């Protein structure tokens, strides 16, 4: 999923990208721009309704269930990788009145 800060949503041209990043002070001393990148992979963990009912009747908490499901993640098949290259966010400028 593309975030609202994805470069394709934030600017229309390379000139806009350069201008915006210059105004944000994002170019380092070498003149390089470091863009934030998020990589997300997706999979599914299955659990039956009967198992959930058993856990609930045994007093299991959501945190306990989360930990149990995390243990099953090693068996998952990961796919559908998405990459989101984002615009740097402007640095907050504080004004002293």
Encode pLDDT of 19-45 as tens digits: 888 888 888 889 898 888 888 888 888
Q: How many domains does the chain divide into?
A: 1
The whole-chain average pLDDT of the chain stands at 84
Query: Residue 78 belongs to what domain range?
Result: 7-85
Take residue 92 and report the two structure tokens written for it: 């907050």
- 2: pLDDT confidence band, cut at 50, 70 and 90? low
This prediction has a pTM of: 0.50
CA distances for 68 relative to 24, 25, 54, 61, angstroms? 44, 45, 14, 11
- 9: pLDDT confidence band, cut at 50, 70 and 90? confident
Take residue 67 and report the two structure tokens written for it: 């930990």
> Running DSSP on this structure, what letter comes out for residue 16?
H
């Amino acid at each position: 999923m593309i975030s609202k800060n994805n470069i394709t949503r934030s600017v229309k041209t390379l000139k806009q990208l350069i201008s915006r990043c210059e105004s944000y002070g994002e170019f380092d001393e070498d003149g390089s721009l470091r863009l934030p990148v998020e990589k997300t992979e997706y999979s599914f963990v299955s659990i039956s309704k009967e198992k959930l009912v058993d856990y609930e009747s045994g007093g299991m908490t959501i945190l306990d269930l989360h930990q149990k499901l995390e243990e099953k993640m090693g068996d998952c098949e990961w796919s559908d990788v998405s990459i989101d290259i984002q615009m740097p966010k402007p640095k907050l400028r504080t004004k002293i009145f």
